Chains A and B, each alone.
Chain A
Amino acid sequence: MSIMEYNGGAVLAMVGKNCVAIASDLRFGVQAQTLSTNFSKVFPISSKCFLGLSGLATDILTLHQKLVFKNNLYKLREEREMSPRVFANMVASTLYEKRFGPFFSEPVIAGLEGPENKPYITAMDLLGAPVDAHDFVMSGTCTPAMYGMCETLYRPNLEPDDLFETISQCLLAAFDRDAITGWGAVVHILTPTGVISRKLKGRQD
């Protein structure tokens, strides 16, 4: 039994045309027992930056609290928002600080960078090793299934509505192949004009 598979869960982010999508499942459980179907693993940091965290639930909550705290301090001192790239760097540093006793959580960051709102996504492992991608990133217990789905369905420069359809199909199909992920999903589409959030039902098992 791996500590990263104790609670289960998955997060996925995808790039579109002047927009990004980030999604997670809604299951909160302990090994085989599902306790709640309302645990979103995607958290807003600003209107232009969202953070998704997979892995051990307690570390998801702790990391989220720490990062929101650091973000708030930055905003108070700098009197401006943190850009997604800078935020991602801060997440990586926060994780590496605990190199020999890490947080058991693997983040995914999705945002719109700069005044031109250029889409930016990145993911990292539990030690903070980042990987920037131009198409999609994911973390969680069903990453192989998600990789397969995304590689097949993804096309560059999708409009927000098409991006929503694509990311939804990818995650719903991937979740059905993992026992400890699923029970619904939440998808956030970040566009320069605002955020559209939708809940998906999917198979409730």
Chain B
Amino acid sequence: METILAIKLKDVVITLSDTNAGRSIVKMKDDEDKILVLDQHKLLLTSGEAGDRIQFCEYISKNVSLYELRNGYELTMNAAANYIRNELATAVRQSPYQVNLILAGHDSHDGASLYFMDYLGSMQKMSFTCHGYAGYFLLSLLDKHWREGMSIDEGVQLLHMCIQELKTRFIVNTNYIAKSVGAEGVRVVPLNSAA
């Protein structure tokens, strides 16, 4: 199960995902970008069944773009999160999308925010969260080190702590990619292994 995580900082949400794409014991690709840029101020991190992931992401992404085209402004974070949740909840009793997601973003209404969603359609607004096996290693680490209103530098430091923990104790060896989203938009966060 893939690692995806997001941490809310002061006015910015920083996100991390692994770059592994594989089947069973074979690593097919090690530079897969699982952090989808939904629109200028939203990131959608997905983990789960390969086909469902891509199909669901594209479906959501196009509908979010359509909203912006029709109305002339982006969906708010709360609206986008509830829209995605409702798609998952409607599908779960017919043909479930086996996709777990984190929606991270920024809007003028709530500032930086992040939403955890699972394949059943549970949703919770949180300060930091992970999906997959990473949670077993990182949730307690984040409980200890996360504070309200951290700066981006402190956030990147925290990300490196998380990566180091996974490298030490998690059996799967993989590379990671990090992106941040704030009022100014989406940025790729450089992760130098030296830090």
Contacts and interface: CB of A to CB of B under 8 A. Distances in A.
Interface string A52-68: 00001110011001000
Interface stretch (B11-19, B116-124, B167-175): B116-124
A33 interface: yes
Chain B contact residues, majority secondary structure: mixed
Interface of B: 85-86, 88-89, 92-93, 116, 118, 120-124, 126, 129, 135-136, 139
Contacts of B120: 56-58
Contact of B122 (A38, A57, A101): A57
Contacts of A30: 118, 122
Contact of A58 (B92, B116, B129): B92
B89 A62 contact: yes
Interface string A28-70: 1010010110110000000000000000111001100100000
Nearest to A104: B120
Interface of A: 7, 28, 30, 33, 35-36, 38-39, 56-58, 61-62, 65, 101
Contacts of B136: 33
Given A35-B116, A56-B120, 15 more contacts: A30-B122, A33-B139, A35-B124, A35-B135, A35-B139, A36-B129, A38-B126, A56-B122, A57-B122, A57-B124, A58-B122, A58-B123, A61-B85, A61-B89, A61-B121
A56 B122 CA distance: 8
Given A35-B116, A101-B93, A61 B123 contact: yes
A30 B139 CA distance: 13
A57 B86 CA distance: 13
A28 B122 contact: yes
Contacts of B135: 33, 35
Indicate the member of A56, A61, A65, A101 with the most B CB atoms within 10 Å. A61
B136 to A, nearest CB: 7
B89 A39 contact: no
Indicate the member of A7, A58, A61, A101 with the most B CB atoms within 10 Å. A58
A28 B124 contact: yes
Contacts of A36: 116, 124, 126, 129
Contacts of A58: 85, 88-89, 92, 118, 120-123
Given A35-B116, A36-B116, A61 B93 contact: no
Contacts of B93: 101
Nearest to B136: A33
27 contacts: A28-B122, A30-B118, A30-B122, A33-B139, A35-B124, A35-B126, A35-B139, A36-B116, A36-B124, A36-B126, A36-B129, A38-B124, A56-B122, A57-B120, A57-B122, A57-B124, A58-B88, A58-B118, A58-B121, A58-B122, A61-B89, A61-B121, A61-B123, A62-B89, A62-B121, A65-B86, A101-B93
B110 to A, nearest CB: 15
A61 B89 CA distance: 9
